[in-house]
Copies of this chain bind each other. A is one copy, B any other.
Amino acid sequence: MKKADLIYADGEHCADMLYATGFRAPDAFIYFKTSSETGMVMSALEHDRAVKEAKPGINIYSNKEFCDRQDAKAVDLVSGLAEKKKIKVFRVPGEFPLKLADELRSRGFTVTPEKQRFFPEREFKNSQEVDNITAALRITENGMRRAHRILETAELNQTGQLVWNAKILTSELLRAEINIELIRGGAMPDATIVACGTQGADPHNTGTGPLESGKPIIIDIFPKVTATGYWGDLTRTFVKGTAPDQVKRAYEAVYAARESAKPLIKAGAVPVEIHNAAKSILDKHGFETGRKNNCNYGFFHGLGHGVGLEIHEAPRLSPASKTPLRGGEVVTVEPGVYYQEWGGIRLEDMVYVEENGCRCLTEIENILEVK
């Protein structure tokens, strides 16, 4: 019984496929790997480009070679492939599409979803990958600098709204300017967050409408570099003008939590313990976590997450993560506090986990008040 790894996905949005093949296509295709061969099975539309662009060492087949019907479906192609290669058992990612798996099983194949990560090595970055992530972060920082400069240049109108280039400065406008900077740098923005005041009380509210002085503005930027597929991730929080005392204290607490957590990050450290250490710093500063009026407040997300070919990937620095770090991971460190009454503060850096500590990849400074 010959076994094979099998992925059926596109390489544009499926990081495992991109990792395996280096090839991006908007529609799903087949990747397989047996003990003797690695291959891709491509439509006429993508075949010739795959020959040129896929990772070296992968054999590129046409759909037609495994099923020559015009209306061949994925199950027909995989069955044809399996017959020619005498494969009976497929190991697939946990996210493998159920319908295709059921169809293959009903044709007599064994299809076993991987319980863990399909490519566990993706969690541990080699030096090229760290370089790619660092390059992504440099572009991300340029986006943040652009935002900072615009906030500096902006003036206040009589109602405390920000005016820039003779226009009311909105979340939408500032987000567009940040995203343009990312694109000029060769990266593709995702859902860039510019959330002012109480909007920032929801960590993933992307923000809308006029920006105001005296209120925290959370800016969270996470683009993917087009050429490599690797992501950067960065959050800063600004106040235009003078920050209220409470916001200043929250900023100091979040900064302290982040900086206290970093020295704990090293090979052997247990993520939940790092998370809890950051949380206890916030508690000590008086920024506790809980629930009232049917809303969460305080620090109610994980301290960080892995970043690579996905913006959120293993490992998580969260209350549920009990597997010790091994070294080689790239993770965010991003404590935050959120209150429906006035908004939120989040400060996010990225670090590379090493034997005896971690190396901070983020270079941009932390500034609260923009005058």
Contacts and interface: CB of A to CB of B under 8 A. Distances in A.
B45 A204 contact: yes
Chief secondary structure at chain A's binding surface: loop
A150 B290 CA distance: 55
A359 interface: no
A102 B190 CA distance: 32
Given A24-B191, A25-B204, A186-B172, A48 B99 contact: no
A319 interface: yes
Contacts of A184: 176, 180
Interface residues of A, number: 60
Interface in A192-239: 201-205, 226
A26 B231 CA distance: 14
Contacts of A320: 70-72
Nearest to A46: B204
Nearest to A72: B320
B179 A183 contact: yes
A48 B96 contact: no
B115 A98 contact: no
B180 A45 contact: no
This protein's copies in its complex: 2
A49 interface: yes
Contact of A44 (B25, B183, B191, B301): B301
Contacts of A202: 48-49, 52
A47 interface: yes
A311 interface: yes
A137 interface: no
A252 interface: no
Interface in A281-326: 294-296, 300-301, 311-312, 319-320, 322
A221 to B, nearest CB: 14
Nearest to A338: B48
Contacts of A312: 26-27
A13 interface: yes
A114 interface: yes
Nearest to A101: B98
A271 to B, nearest CB: 11
B191 A12 contact: yes
Interface string A82-116: 00000000001011111111100000000101110
Nearest 8 CB-CB pairings of A with B: A94-B99, A71-B320, A99-B113, A49-B202, A96-B98, A45-B301, A44-B300, A98-B113
Given A94-B98, A176-B186, 18 more contacts: A12-B191, A13-B13, A24-B191, A25-B204, A26-B191, A26-B311, A27-B312, A48-B295, A48-B340, A70-B320, A94-B97, A98-B111, A99-B113, A99-B115, A101-B101, A180-B184, A183-B183, A188-B189
